[in-house]
Amino acid sequence: MERNPATSPTDSDPTSSSAAVRRHPALFRAVRRRRNPPLRRTDITVTDERAVKRAVKAASLGNAMEWFDFGIYAYLAGTIGRVFFPSGSDTAQLLSSFATFAVAFLVRPLGGMVFGPMGDKVGRKKVLALTMILMAIGTAAIGMLPTYAAVGFWSPLLLILFRLLQGFSTGGEYGGASTFIAEYAPDKRRGYFGSFLELGTLAGYTGAAGLVTALTAWLGSDAMDAWGWRIPFLVAGPLGVVGIYLRLKLDDTPAYLKLEEGNVHVTEAANSVETAARGGLAKIFRQHWRTLLLCVALVGAYNVTDYMLLSYMPTYLSDELHYSESHGLLILVATMVVLMLIINQVGRLNDRFGRKPLLMTGMLGFFVLSAPAFLLVQQGSPLAVSAGMLMLGLSLVCLLGTMSAALPAMFPTSVRYGSLSVGYNLSASLFGGTTPLVITALIGATGSDMMPAYYSMAAALIGVVAVACMKETAQQPLEGSPPSVQTEREAAELVQARTPTPKF
């Protein structure tokens, strides 16, 4: 009795399958082609260089403005503690300020759960514009709040309300912006273009730190506590308008538009992903929970080290080492400028050598160098402090320049924005925003100035395990999306390379 070729005898009986294949070679070739059809030219996205650069610029500048808004609070933590909370010990006021900093992270997963699936349903650019609007409103509103001396406990309550709005909007920012750039970029340069997103993050933090430093030096501590602290928050309004304009001027990503059209047929497996109904949260947690857990571990390690250096370090220098606030910020600004100068080279390196080697270098750098770096910082001289922060910064830049290309590639196109937003913000909520609060509490409980180093080392060890478990995605198409190349010639060469050699 003749076998039904559709049942693929190869899976059940290799011996009989081999005989069947020899008897009916043409039939089995047809079955294989049906299961894994050859790549067609129309399947491949040829990117427009100008469109890619416009998309990268809009996403990166928008991201810079978002993190400028968010960074202001971190760099004014001491001032905000004095302005919005009852007088008491400096440590109690600082803990109150950092607790309010952390509260924004409590709602980030909620923002990710709302904005992420929304970005998969209505498009990336609309949601990114909406997050920009909400962040600008929340930040500008903080700049207009009355102080504790004027209205009592209403003041910190209103501060918490608008911090929650900031955190909610940020929940849709990183996942959307990294998805936006990843889906616009060609496969072979995704690391390079993705590194501009974190260049924007550093630029936002640098702008916030630079503005706070300049105002503190110009006005002095008394004037900053009285009214000067409002200026950085109020600047966010006009910057937000610019970011909204840039994002609304763009088209949505090629990968999302092809998903909308439903005309991608690279393979039957990819086609089933592309044309499947877009899943909400239930689909994300049911089908992608393993990848979500990996994302949470990876982002957790990254966020602890990120917020420890970029958000907490100025406070550490002023409170533990008794630096002036402006002096500590100046050293941090100098460190971030160095990182900005080299971050795009890290993007090029992870395109060439892979995401995992660069991520592993960064994690191991924090694990090995955190203790020596903090010992240098504790020497107190400007040179020693700068050297210690640069050691940490060079480890961090390996993560910054790689994460924005590695994380979007972990999830398929149909649920990429939602999955990444949920995983990233859940981890940021648990580990990132709590970092200044936890470190301050640990130093208070143990009396050890080395607690930031030990905390970073523990996070880095988790990161090493997470990187070892992830798949390499450099120079490969995004899951559930067709290949993306820079030129028609590359597309033709790719089709030719994937076309099976005819047998006579």
**Residue-wise pLDDT tens digits, 438-462:** 888 888 888 888 999 999 999 999 9
Question: Which distant-in-sequence residues (6+ apart) come within 8 Å of 327 by Cβ?
Answer: 317
Helices 90-106 and 108-122, axial angle in degrees (round to 10): 30
Helix (H), strand (E) at residue 4: none
The whole-number pLDDT of residue 1 equals 39
The whole-number pLDDT of residue 59 equals 82
Amino acid at 364: L
- The token duo for 88 is 């008491």
Least confident of 220-234, 371-385, 425-439, 467-481: 425-439
Q: Is the pLDDT of residue 273 over 70?
A: no
Q: What backbone phi and psi angles, to 5 degrees, belong to 4?
A: -80, 115
Q: pLDDT tens, 217-229?
A: 888 878 888 899 9
- The token duo for 60 is 């990166």
Q: Is the pLDDT of residue 301 over 50?
A: yes
Sign of the Cα torsion 415, 417, 422, 424 reads positive
Q: Is the pLDDT of residue 366 over 80?
A: yes
Average pLDDT over residues 21-27: 64
The whole-number pLDDT of residue 502 equals 54
Q: Which residue has the higher pLDDT, 12 or 346?
A: 346
Average pLDDT over residues 291-316: 88
Neighbours of 386 (CB within 10 A): 19
Q: Is the pLDDT of residue 103 over 70?
A: yes
Strand-pairing partners, residue 484, are 45
Question: Band of the pLDDT at 351, cuts 50, 70, 90?
Answer: very high
Q: What backbone phi and psi angles, to 5 degrees, belong to 146?
A: -70, 155
The whole-number pLDDT of residue 401 equals 94
d(CA 262, CA 325): 55
By the 8 A CB rule, do 17 and 9 touch?
yes
Average pLDDT over residues 4-32: 53
Q: Is the pLDDT of residue 470 over 50?
A: yes
- Residue 45 per-residue DSSP state: E
Query: Which among 154, 375, 119 has a CA at the least distance from the CA of 260?
Result: 119
The whole-number pLDDT of residue 353 equals 94
Question: Band of the pLDDT at 387, cuts 50, 70, 90?
Answer: very high
Question: Band of the pLDDT at 2, cuts 50, 70, 90?
Answer: very low
d(CA 177, CA 172): 8
Q: Characterise 479 by phi-psi region: left (phi > 0), alpha (psi -120 to 50), beta (else).
A: beta
The whole-number pLDDT of residue 24 equals 60
Average pLDDT over residues 60-77: 79
The whole-number pLDDT of residue 487 equals 74
The whole-number pLDDT of residue 437 equals 80
Q: Which residue has the higher pLDDT, 109 or 264?
A: 109
Least confident of 72-76, 180-184, 231-235, 397-401: 72-76
Which of 91-95, 235-239, 319-323, 392-396 has maximum average pLDDT? 392-396
Q: Which residue has the higher pLDDT, 350 or 441?
A: 350
- The token duo for 53 is 């650069």
Q: What does the mean pLDDT of the chain come to?
A: 80
Query: Which among 299, 317, 239, 340 has a CA at the least distance from the CA of 75?
Result: 317
Question: Band of the pLDDT at 500, cuts 50, 70, 90?
Answer: low
Average pLDDT over residues 124-146: 85
d(CA 130, CA 209): 26
Q: pLDDT tens, 72-81?
A: 877 787 788 7
Q: Which residue has the higher pLDDT, 267 or 24?
A: 24
